[in-house]
Chain A
């Protein structure tokens, strides 16, 4: 069974600072996808970044980057130059490639507060 664990229920960071959100997962698969989703107060789930397990290079999207450690089954999200608009719940998610239907597995979320 696949599980996704986010061990930090809540975090705070000062505006313009850098923060790292942690995520670990458990799977016996070799090929899979990992995601970070952002859920602001509007509650719309927004894709932040995705990583394919077969790629060794860490994904980057502007101020957002990941540290993917496949052997350790770790997938942390780094937010650089934090902005007030980054205040949100962040969910880590895992899925296997399609072929047969595969569910998305979500962590319990980390609430990030960016302080002015």
Chain B
């Protein structure tokens, strides 16, 4: 099946620890995104990547880091510098190309809780 997978589904972190959230897609999409969603809120963009080995900061990048070594993978690391990391994290990829095909698809999300 084609799609976007995120792991783990639930993640618990102690204060001061770095954690990495996995995002993998087999849709052959070039662009990938990380969003943060707080309870009852909309989506806020953390980082995005247009192509392999290139990524850009979004609106709330402080305390987060990413890598894009492979087209299929876009892991997000939540560092100890992120002061309030408890949230729901969504990964997405974007189908691009000919007119009429631009669409963003989402993974199932990871819920991160800081203990």
Per-position binary interface string of chain A over residues 92-116, scored 1 when its CB falls under 8 Å from any chain B CB and 0 otherwise: 0101011001011011110000000
Per the 8 Å Cβ criterion, residues 47-102 of A in contact with B are: 47, 50, 52, 91, 93, 95, 97-98, 101
| Secondary structure type dominating chain B contacts | strand
Q: Are A109 and B105 in contact (CB under 8 A)?
A: no
A30 within 8 A of B: no
B45 near A103: Cβ-Cβ < 8 Å? yes
Q: Quick check: A43 and B88 within 8 Å, CB to CB?
A: yes
Do B103 and A91 have beta carbons less than 8 Å apart?
no
For the complex, is B109 an interface residue (Cβ under 8 Å from A)? yes
- Interchain CB contact (< 8 A) of A91 among B42, B56, B92: B42
- B68 CB–A CB distance under 8 Å: no
Contacts of A45 in B (CB 8 A): 90, 92, 106, 109
Indicate if A35 sits at the interface (CB-CB under 8 A): yes
A101 touches B48 (CB 8 A): yes
- Are A101 and B50 within 8 A (Cβ)? yes
Q: How many residues of B sit at the interface, in one of the four size bands?
A: 20 to 34
Q: Which of B40-57 contact A (CB under 8 A)?
A: 41-43, 45, 48, 50, 56
- A33 and B97 CA atoms in complex are apart in Å by 13
Cα of A44 to Cα of B99 in the assembled complex, Å: 26
Which residues of A5-28 have CB atoms within 8 Å of chain B's CB atoms?
Answer: none
Is B104 in contact with chain A by the CB < 8 A criterion? yes
Q: Is the CB of B106 within 8 A of A108?
A: no
B102 at the interface (CB under 8 A from A): yes
A93 to B90, CA, bound (A): 15
Are the CB atoms of A95 and B102 closer together than 8 Å?
Answer: yes
Given contacts A43-B109, A101-B50, contact A106 B102 (CB under 8 A): no
Q: Please provide the chain B residues from 58 to 115 with a CB less than 8 Å away from any CB of chain A in the complex.
A: 58, 88, 90, 92, 94, 96-97, 99-100, 102-106, 108-109, 111
